[in-house]
Structure 1
């Protein structure tokens, strides 16, 4: 019963005693650690911790699996991309804070929690907007000249692993991974706690669909098909894939013909 009031008091104390830029940067890094690095590490550890379970649920056979060197290379590229985003994020916050504009910040850091109604509404709208932005950016990146220049990097992993979820050319990482998550909460003027919750959801989703395991209702299976076929499953939640016919509705028949 006292958990929520205590959490509210703690949050209010943090906001009143810390610089907003420090709160934004530190909180976002913590979300990355807990909801991307930790799940990716757990997925990668299944081979060692639960080898029989891992073998039973892996989508791709052993010969197709990336090598240890491939995975380490992927981790280095992910670190580079995250460092790039951290630098850009810091510059954006510094420019915004030094601006003479009287406009309210795009993401609010209020001492109060967002209301339940605001939180749920902003999360739902953000999910839908992110799907639109990500699907569009992803389809554009499959245009042959852009694919060869940018998106081919990500498709190096024909049998994806969780750490491949942020393995991308820097331009793709910003345009297709970061902006579709950042723009919706900014347009809504969302509370930073809402923004962090939305970011956490998207990080878990992307690490899961790239995990190479058949967990969570076939989400990873669908993304594996994208890495195999290149012309299906461009979205995240599947809404636009269903609406625009890129969801392999006749998947079984197609597989038989291949």
Structure 2
């Protein structure tokens, strides 16, 4: 079968549901049976956090003291956040772009989730223009506004290095906030009156690519099921069928009955076909 690189879009009222067939766009190259979180993901996060805090407290305190003595607080918070997010975003997006557009290194292409949909330069150029607008015309003014709100509240951001206990507490809190805000906000964007005007552009990518997300969503949009990395399968499936897996964690999808996977849909399809065969 010829590989498809077409940038196509399907409206929500035409998308797949539990009663519709799913075409095999994922291919037989690699097994995709993986939960959103598993042992490999926990290992990955544990190693990254350990390396970060080990390096931070062994080598970072003197550097951080120099930063505090050299730059004012607004520059550190606004400028530092912008530089770190930009460097991280473009570093990973560039690596994924080489993998998508040149299939280099070739051995990693076996982890492509939908290998029959091959990304093209058209995909990347369309996304590049939108990303630059979002980062500079939306992200910068939003950052300034948020900082002004923080100042209005007394600027509660501390400048001391966090402990691992502080990170654990805040991570759990932010995870809960993100799950609630992202799930209901995302479902709202899929309402027909908002979808065509706002969110449709993001769903042009039925096989997502990293540059089509923002910084914290690169992995879930990367299109590759890489070993040890957090699983992008749930959100990749959302881009394929549009009406499943709205949330980042999956708890609210489970509660509201919007959780889904390609394997479950194909299994239901097989069961329906078997039942229809028996009835004949």
1:105 and 2:155 matched: yes
Instruction: State the alpha-carbon separation in 1 of the partners of residues 105 and 71 from structure 2.
Output: 45
User: 2:170 corresponds to which residue?
Assistant: 122
Could you give the per-residue CA deviations for residues 155-206 of structure 1, whole angstroms, max 9, x where no partner exists? 011111101114xxxxxxxxxxxxxxxxxxxxxxxxxxxxxxxxxxxx35x1
Could you give the per-residue CA deviations for residues 71-124 of structure 1, whole angstroms, max 9, x where no partner exists? 112011101101121123124435765xxx5x4214x142x2223322210111
Q: Structure 1 59/49 Cα, relative in aligned 2: closer, same or farther at 3 Å? A: closer
Contact kept in structure 2, 1:162 and 1:207, CA below 8 Å: yes
Which of 1 and 2 has greater Rg?
2
The equivalent position to 1:69 in structure 2, one of 122, 142, 163, is: 122
1:50, distance to aligned residue in structure 2 (A)? 2.7
Instruction: State the alpha-carbon separation in 2 of the partners of residues 89 and 65 from structure 1.
Output: 35
- How many residues were matched structurally? 214
Contact kept in structure 1, 2:99 and 2:109, CA below 8 Å: no
1:141 and 2:155 matched: no
The equivalent position to 2:265 in structure 1, one of 233, 242, 251, is: 251
User: 1:228 corresponds to which residue?
Assistant: 240
What TM-score, normalized to structure 1? Answer: 0.73
Greater relative contact order, per chain length (Cα 8 Å cut-off, separation 6+)? 2
Unaligned regions of 5+ residues in structure 2, if any? Answer: 1-53, 274-280
User: 1:242 corresponds to which residue?
Assistant: 254
Q: Secondary structure at the match of 1:149?
A: coil
Instruction: State the alpha-carbon separation in 1 of the partners of residues 203 and 244 from structure 2.
Output: 13
1:151, distance to aligned residue in structure 2 (A)? 0.9
Question: Over aligned residue pairs, what C-alpha RMSD do you find?
Answer: 2.6
Greater helix content: 1
1:210 and 2:210 matched: no
Instruction: State the alpha-carbon separation in 2 of the partners of residues 2 and 26 from structure 1.
Output: 22
User: 1:190 corresponds to which residue?
Assistant: none
1:56 and 2:56 matched: no
1:42, distance to aligned residue in structure 2 (A)? 1.1
What TM-score, normalized to structure 2? Answer: 0.67
Contact kept in structure 2, 1:66 and 1:157, CA below 8 Å: no
Q: Secondary structure at the match of 2:113?
A: coil
Unaligned regions of 5+ residues in structure 1, if any? Answer: 167-202
User: 1:27 corresponds to which residue?
Assistant: 80
Q: Secondary structure at the match of 2:132?
A: helix
1:212, distance to aligned residue in structure 2 (A)? 1.0
